[in-house]
Chain A
Amino acid sequence: MAPGPLYCYSSTMIQLKASDVPLYKQIVQQISRLVASERWPAGYRLPSVRGLAEQLVVNHNTVARAYRELERQGVVTSRRGDGVFVADQSHPFARRRGEQQLRGSIERLLDEATQLGMTPRDLVDLVGDHAARREQASRPGTRRRA
């Protein structure tokens, strides 16, 4: 049997793909990102479970589970009969949550750096340099990046 084509069904902002990350987790991660970047600001009403399920072509239980998880993490709040909304992110927990979200990327970055023979200190310096360059690039007078 040939493995099937890995087609991606997506809404405009959420993209699911076949990977070792369960679909509900992919939804949680991507919505957290949308919230963190304020593309979905506090008070934003999320699509209904059924609506998003149809849009992403996934079982509605998968979306419901993602929403439950997001609610547990405090990213969204659900108001009975009214829908699910992005929670106020100014809460001190929000920062901790952001840190948690980055943990995976940081771990991977550290692994890669180690493999390349860099120390964590080198990596921190590199990130610092990079941030400084980015800031400089976006300063008035220079061309603003999108």
Chain B
Amino acid sequence: MSDPVIEIRELSRRFGSSIALDHIDLCVAEGTVLGLIGPNGAGKTTLIKHILGLLRSEQGSTRVFGLDPVADPEGVLSRIGYVSEERDLPGWMRIRDLYRYTRAFFPNWDDALVTELTERFQLDVGQKVKTLSRGQHVRTALVLALAHRPPLLVLDEPSSGLDPVVRRDVLESIVHTTAQSGSTVLFSSHLLDEVERLSDRLAMIVDGRIVVHDELDGIRQRHWCFAVHYDGPGAPLANVDGVLKSKPGLSPGECEVIGEGDPEELARALTAQGVSVLERRPTTLDEVFLARIDPAHSTQTAAHRTDHAT
């Protein structure tokens, strides 16, 4: 197997007293589409900035194509196509000028591809950037990111703030270009359905830590949802090994539990707490994600629930 395109080891980052990244380990193999998902402020953009060499690794290391992006920005950035979360293309430029300007930085700029994408995205090259709609802005940024056929594409929240039609369009372009080029893609999003559609692997980042990183199926096969019933007074299920979250079910004494691990073992561990397992089913990615976000706050015991049942 070839070396990973992105290799991050033990990366931590503080801004003042707050911890933005906390011992991040992340490897992305060539040709993988990795979806980076997390709530706003979880550290997605900070992580991406390290990959682009915009932030230096204070603790730990970041390697892209085996290079340190801060020490060798040219070697790294020439191989990355990047769409930033900010809509930050210069407003006074026309798309045409922007193409010409960006082209100068990239020896492998592909004019034919630019023409093709411009047509596909229905962009008017005579238009000034500041008059572009959000969707047109993203599409222009995508053309610029793709024009030098980069082996690594980094997209920070490519679809945020877009209406469903434009969003579909942008996502479709991503599917189109990745299917064609086979390039490695890292894209961040706070929307699970889009990550599920586009990616091979998924990394969930919460409070600066990567809490899950696996193939989509692997994540599904490791997480289970149980409906349990308290026969007697309830013990908290939150401390049971593997339990991520428990929340009250529909009827009193019932509880819904999301856990990670072998389903049989989880069931045994739950039963040992004096509850009976009524049902077990696989989880949706959404449930895993929600269970991973701030599980402490969402965990309740069924006993607690009974108090509020009426």
Q: Is the interface of A mostly helix, strand, loop or mixed?
A: loop
Q: Does A3 contact B (CB under 8 A)?
A: yes
Known: A1-B39, A1-B293, A18-B193. A58 touches B175 (CB 8 A): yes
Q: Is A54 located at the chain interface by the 8 A CB criterion?
A: yes
Query: Are B175 and A23 touching (Cβ within 8 A)?
Result: no
Q: How far is the CB of B176 from chain A (nearest CB, A)?
A: 5
B200–A59 touching, CB < 8 Å: yes
Residue of B nearest to A56 (CB): B197
- B261 is an interface residue with CB less than 8 A from chain A: no
Smallest CB separation, B233 vs chain A (Å):
28
Residues of chain A from 1 to 52 with CB closer than 8 A to chain B in the complex: 1, 3-7, 9, 16, 18-20, 22-23, 49-50
B33: which A residues are within 8 A, CB to CB? 59, 61
The proximity string for B residues 239-275 relative to A, scoring 1 for CB distances below 8 Å and 0 otherwise, is: 0000000000000000000000000000000000000
| Interface membership of B131, Cβ < 8 A | no
B190 touches which of A1, A7, A50, A57 (Cβ 8 Å): A1
Number of interface residues of A (CB under 8 A): 24
Given contacts A18-B284, A19-B284, A23-B197, contact A9 B168 (CB under 8 A): yes
Q: Give CA–CA (A23, B215) in the complex, Å.
A: 13
Complex contacts, B284 vs chain A, CB 8 Å? 18-20
CB A144 to nearest CB in B, in angstroms, measures 38
Q: Kindly list chain A residues whose C-beta atoms are within 8 Å of the C-beta of B200.
A: 59, 61
Say whether B191 contacts A59, CB under 8 Å: no
Query: Which one of A1, A6, A7, A22 contacts B217 once the chains associate, using CB atoms below 8 Å?
Result: A22
Q: Which residues of B contact A7 (CB under 8 A)?
A: 164, 167-168, 193
Is B175's CB under 8 angstroms from A4's CB? Answer: no
Whether A94 sits at the interface, judged by CB under 8 Å, is no
Contacts of A58 on B, CB cut-off 8 Å? 175, 197-198
Task: Indicate if the CB atoms of B178 and A18 lie closer than 8 Å.
Answer: no
Docked-complex contact B197 and A59, CB < 8 angstroms: yes
Residue in B167, B178, B180, B220 whose beta carbon sits within 8 Å of that of A59 in the complex: B178
Let me know if A110 is at the binding interface, CB within 8 A: no
Take A18-B193, A23-B196, A59-B198 as given contacts and tell me if A54 and B172 are in contact as well, using a CB distance cutoff of 8 Å. yes
* Contact flag A59-B175 (CB < 8 Å), given A9-B197, A20-B281: yes
Q: Does B40 contact A (CB under 8 A)?
A: yes
Q: Which of B40, B164, B171, B179 contacts A60 (CB 8 A)?
A: B179
Q: How far is the CB of A21 from chain B (nearest CB, A)?
A: 8
- Report the bound CA distance from A6 to B191 in whole Å: 9
In whole Å, how far is A116's beta carbon from the nearest beta carbon of chain B? 16
* Residues of B265-293 whose CB lies within 8 A of A: 281-286, 290, 293
Does B199 count as interface, using CB distance less than 8 angstroms?
yes
Partner of B282, one of A20, A56, A60, A62: A20
CB of B194 within 8 Å of the partner chain? yes
- Judged by a CB distance under 8 angstroms, whether B192 is at the interface is yes
CB distance from B257 to the nearest CB of A (A): 15
CA distance A39 to B139 in the complex (A): 37
Give the nearest-CB partner of B282 in chain A. Answer: A20
B132 touches A (CB below 8 Å): no
Is B123 interfacial (CB-CB < 8 Å)? no
Cross-chain contact A50 with B193 (CB below 8 angstroms): no
In the assembled complex, 29 residue pairs joining A and B whose CB atoms fall closer than 8 Å, in A order, are A1-B190, A1-B293, A4-B190, A4-B192, A4-B193, A4-B194, A5-B164, A7-B193, A9-B168, A9-B197, A18-B192, A18-B193, A19-B284, A22-B217, A22-B220, A23-B197, A49-B179, A50-B179, A50-B180, A53-B175, A54-B172, A54-B179, A56-B197, A58-B197, A59-B33, A59-B200, A60-B178, A60-B179, A61-B33
Chain A to chain B: the 9 pairs with minimum beta-carbon distance, closest first: A4-B191, A60-B179, A1-B39, A20-B282, A50-B179, A58-B197, A18-B193, A20-B284, A57-B171
Residues of B within 8 A of A (CB): 33, 39-40, 164, 167-168, 171-172, 175-176, 178-180, 190-194, 196-200, 216-217, 220, 281-286, 290, 293
